[in-house]
Amino acid sequence: MTTRVAHYPFTSRQACVLVPAEERASGARPPLLVVVHGYAQTGDRQHRWMGRAVPPAFAAAFPDGFHPFEVRKQGRPPRIGYAWYVFSGDRPAFLASLARASEALWELVDRLADDLDADASRVFLAGFSQGAYLVNHAAMTRPDRCAGWIAQCGNFREDYLQGAVPDLAGTPVLLQYGEHDTALPEGAAESCRELITGFGADVTTSVHDAPHAITPGMADEARDWLAAHAGG
């Protein structure tokens, strides 16, 4: 898999791993997959987890989050991790930050589609943990822009949409969870599935023998799901 790194000046000067399509029909633009990491992680780490999830006919991008910060753990050197939005316990501030992050993500998608010569009408999102909250929000607030999405080890609540009622009729969605994930509340998988299905989406839910992480099996399932829903 060929990759390159670009930088985009959004909230931060973020690095982004870019994966050009390996296969494409003559003259056709490939679908685009944008993969969003979890809290305190990076696009490069997410690429190591989810690089195998990119079908050969897709272009893909693995950006760093919009908010860099120093991560310290005992016995390890400090490093820079990233967040997509700010959550401090202040609910109005959280909702505003989440909305801004969704807007910025779609701005980034436009840049990525241009740089990778991808089809902006066939954009798929995938997000893990905090990234799952973001792709759920971005996809449901701009359903006209999203061909489908994958939310991994994440949750969502209707009030995060602040009154928006998305029309997701037929939109494919894959929700993946770990059976041993202690980071999510009990019932998160079912409540998230019911919410998104209620807006008309075609939701597939799968539970894997995993903690709060992405396993190779989850990435392989994501690749097969993407290939099946890419369209022409």
CA distance 165 to 152: 23
Cβ-Cβ contacts under 8 Å for 18 (sequence gap 6 or more): 3, 4, 5, 6, 59, 60, 61, 112, 115, 116
Predicted pLDDT of residue 211 = 97
> Is the model's pLDDT at 21 over the cut of 90?
no
Residue 220: give its domain's CATH number: 3.40.50.1820
Indicate the number of domains in the chain. 1
Residue 215, token pair as written in the block = 């396993």
- Calpha distance 114→32 (Å, rounded): 11
Q: 115-172 pLDDT, tens per residue?
A: 999 999 999 999 999 999 999 999 999 999 999 999 999 999 999 999 999 999 999 9
Task: Render pLDDT for 167-226 as a digit per residue (tens, 0 to 9).
Answer: 999 999 999 999 999 999 999 999 999 999 999 999 999 999 999 999 999 999 999 999
Q: Which domain holds residue 101?
A: 4-229
pLDDT of residue 5: 79
Q: What angle do CA 6, 226, 18 make, to 5 degrees?
A: 10
Q: Which residue has the higher pLDDT, 27 or 86?
A: 86
Residues 60-86 pLDDT 10s: 999 999 998 899 888 889 999 999 999
